[in-house]
Amino acid sequence: MSNKAKGKINPDMLSKYGIYLVLLVLFVVSWMANENFMTKSNLTNVSVQIAVGTILAFGQTILIISGMLDLSSASVLALAGVLSISAYLSTGSLIIGFLVAILVSVACNVLNGLMVTKFKTPPFIATLAMMTMARGAALLYTKGQNIYQIKDYTIFGQGNLMGIPIPIIFLVLTLIITWYILNHTVFGRSIYAIGGNEEAANASGINVDRVKMKAFIFNGILVGLAGVIFMSRVNGGLPNGAVGYEFKALTAAVIGGTSFSGGVGTAFGTLAGAFIVGFLDNIMVMVGLDSYLQQIVRGAIIALAVIYDIWSKSKGKSKKLIMVEETKEKVS
């Protein structure tokens, strides 16, 4: 969103705002399909439902922009969540419980970061290993059983602050922080630079390993926070909870225009991607579409949204060119 100077409508506007247009169309169609869709309580409901997945998706966005990804986020979420609840139940302190979640998750992500930077493991493999280890650790710690009776811990996922559900507050805060990091910090610019061209970034004096490690640490904070909200929302420590959330998060980021070739992506795009998936799931259940059919529709819409995004970006020039240009803009 840095070049407001180009005021033309096509095709720049299309490429930049294509995904929001998709969201808008989905919104209008859903509104027509069911009268209960466009109510304050349903919109709040969907926003709360997507909070956990979207907070994970912000972490994925930063990692994907810098040419990495995190397959371990859902498993680390579960490990951080059950340890956090356990810490709360034994100390009685919500703050300690909260901090344990963040610490555990950051520790796991520091390990991810070390594997990637020190041992040059591809992020796909490094985080795949962490995915399996973290889930195993969560199951081992709980012996595969849910932790019940979590008392006041439910405040993080079920509480309200001035009438606003706390998960939404966390969602907005993480959105602002992610947006700020990406657009207004040296760290953010370095992320785009590394994703655009790692060697060039290195040659221009960016400490690539350090930036990558910082990206994982930031991801760790988000994953820990998501773990607290998730467990609190379901009122229990579920060691096998949130299975598949890493793909939910990746889907939101990719639909939102984050490119796996690196160097491209925005916080608001990811939020839009998450809303597209969230509203789609919501309206399909509301109108009572067959569960098997839902899976087909979900897949098709993902494909269509991304095809539209790429098509609108490629109008006039090649996608690669746009990416290079956008990267230049971000770095300069």
Residue of 86, 146, 183, 202 interacting with other proteins (CB under 8 A): 146
Q: Is 90 in the site for other proteins (CB under 8 A)?
A: no
Tell me the three state secondary structure of residue 232.
helix
Nearest approach in angstroms of CB 265 to other proteins is 24
Instruction: Considering only the stretches 11-19, 257-265, 281-289, 299-307, report the one whose residues sit in contact with other proteins under the rule CB under 8 A.
Output: 281-289
Of residues 17-36, those binding other proteins (CB under 8 A): 34, 36
Q: What is the spatial distance between Cα 176 and Cα 191, in angstroms, rounded to a whole number?
A: 17
Closest CA to 129 of 144, 141, 145, 114: 114
User: Which single residue is written with the structure tokens 């796996």?
Assistant: 260
Total chain residues near other proteins (CB under 8 A): 37
Place of tokens 């060691």: 239
For other proteins, the binding residues in 99-138 under the rule CB under 8 A are 132, 135
Q: Which H or E element spans position 165?
A: strand 164-165
Nearest-approach distance from CB 142 to other proteins, in angstroms: 9
Candidates 59, 239, 265, 269; binder of other proteins (CB under 8 A) is 239
275 contacts 24 by C-beta, under 8 angstroms: no
- Site membership for other proteins, residue 285 (CB under 8 A): yes
Phi and psi (nearest 5°) for 149? 55, 60
Tokens standing for residue 142: 């709980």
* CA-based R_g, the chain, Å: 20
93 lines the binding site for other proteins (CB under 8 A): no
Q: What does the binding site for other proteins look like in residue numbers (CB under 8 A)?
A: 34, 36-37, 39, 41-42, 45, 48-49, 132, 135, 139, 143-146, 148-149, 158, 230, 233-236, 238-243, 281-282, 285-288, 291
